[in-house]
Chains A and B, each alone.
Chain A
Amino acid sequence: MIAASVFDLPSYVQHSYLGLLGEQLEVSLGATLGGLLVSLPIGQACARWRLLYPPVLGLVTVAYSIPSLALFVFLIDYTGITDTTLFIALALYSLCILVPGVVDGIRTVPPEVKLAADAMGYGPARRYFQVELPIAAPTIMAAVRVATVSSISLMSIGAVIGNLGGFGQLFTTGLRSFNLSLVWLGLFSLVVLALLCDVLLRLAQRLMTPWADRRSARA
């Protein structure tokens, strides 16, 4: 039968290709989003109180240096061998990329723009959402793109601790069964997925902030 396509996985993988894709997207994109939601207030605080930034930066850098496998392993104790474990670890890693991105982004807002917004009667919340965030968006989005790509590829290491890690499972089952085509499929899927997300985010950023200078949006 020639009809068996590369996407029909052998039964010992325990997932369909689409199932793996879904898990991969859900956890890695979710973790980046979670990290962004956390790093927006942290970044805002660091931009406002300058003394806060160096210790926070040191903390997230140290957190990023924790090997992913070790962090997954520590978390098993609390959240078990589940996707939640991967989610928490990836969200923590994304902070190291996102917090500096948010801080740099907020710092690109010229003070006179903020004063102008104040003078026009914008309240703090409205000024933040309608003035500061749009101006900071290109820099923040550049960080989001880097964080997304790295969490997609980092997540595959989760396959070492169990039947997790999206496409990473193709690596571990491929090694166990010496099935090279599974490994190739996993590698190819991950790289294509990561680059695709990168391109889509870049497109989204351009649609969101059409006025932004193209050069400033580069990572």
Chain B
Amino acid sequence: MIDFLRQFFSDPRFQSGYDGIWQRISEHCWYSLIAFLCAAAIGLPLALLTGHIGRGDGPIAALAAVGRAMPSLGLIVLLAVKIGVFNFNAALIPLVALAVPPILLTTHEGLRAVERSVVDAARGMGMRPLQVLFRVEIPSALPLILSGLRTAAVQVVATTTIAAVISFGGLGRYVVDGLSQYQYYQVVGGGFLVVLLSVATLILFSVITRLAVSPGLRRNR
């Protein structure tokens, strides 16, 4: 496999230009970022609302189960055939659909798991509902909220690879093109870069968690 990687990184075709590594990486990051932000913009406010008022346990659990069962490849292909293989929405919508359930579920459960006595104390101190949400509930639930965001981000980065099955770029291009051209080194190179990118996402989120979460909440293992 090392040999394949060496061959991939020394191929001038991938050094620069349209099929260059940096071009593909930036496409990949760009697609993932858009999908992730859309998912967060949908999932977070909704889950903050349901978690704060403490309703909707059942529907959110059901939505998460359906979301887990939904195959992204199927959705991408379906949308590609329906609205056209060059329509970016065909790649975006499945990625958003993939990322919303984990964000929704963990944020909701995070808020629900905040100790009731703490919320009561905050209310007793005269905080208004929004103050309770932003100054007590969200900070206490932050580790879980961030873990949901992390799961979603990593899954989006990993699944953006599939956007290449229809007409889009990103690192999946190497995998799909390599498979159809029988150039195994290209496939391995693309796969390797995606792994690097998802591990980088994982590290990014662990750094954010370290910085954002209050030290008092850090789990003592």
Contact = CB atoms under 8 A, between A and B. Distances in A.
B133 interface: no
A54 interface: yes
Given A74-B1, A175-B80, A180-B82, A157 B195 contact: no
B184 interface: yes
Interface in A54-95: 54, 61-62, 64-71, 73-74, 76-77
Contacts of A186: 71, 74
Interface in A158-209: 159-161, 167-168, 170-172, 174-175, 178, 180, 183-184, 186-187, 190-191, 194-195, 198
A69 B61 contact: no
B165 interface: yes
Contacts of A167: 71
Query: Taking chain B's interface residues, is the majority helix, strand, or loop, or is none over half, making it mixed?
Result: helix
A158 to B, nearest CB: 9
Contacts of B130: none
B194 interface: yes
Interface in A138-155: 146, 149-150, 152-154
Interface residues of A, number: 48
B188 A74 contact: yes
Given A174-B81, A175-B165, A191-B69, A65 B74 contact: no
Given A65-B158, A149-B69, A190-B69, A70 B192 contact: yes
A218 interface: yes
A159 B4 CA distance: 23
Contact of A219 (B61, B74, B158, B162): B61
B56 to A, nearest CB: 15
Interface of B: 1, 4, 61, 65-66, 68-75, 77-78, 80-82, 154, 157-159, 161-162, 165-166, 172, 175-176, 179, 184, 187-188, 190-192, 194-195, 198-199, 201-202, 221
16 contacts: A50-B221, A61-B202, A62-B202, A64-B154, A67-B159, A69-B161, A69-B191, A74-B188, A76-B187, A156-B74, A157-B72, A159-B73, A183-B74, A187-B78, A190-B70, A190-B71
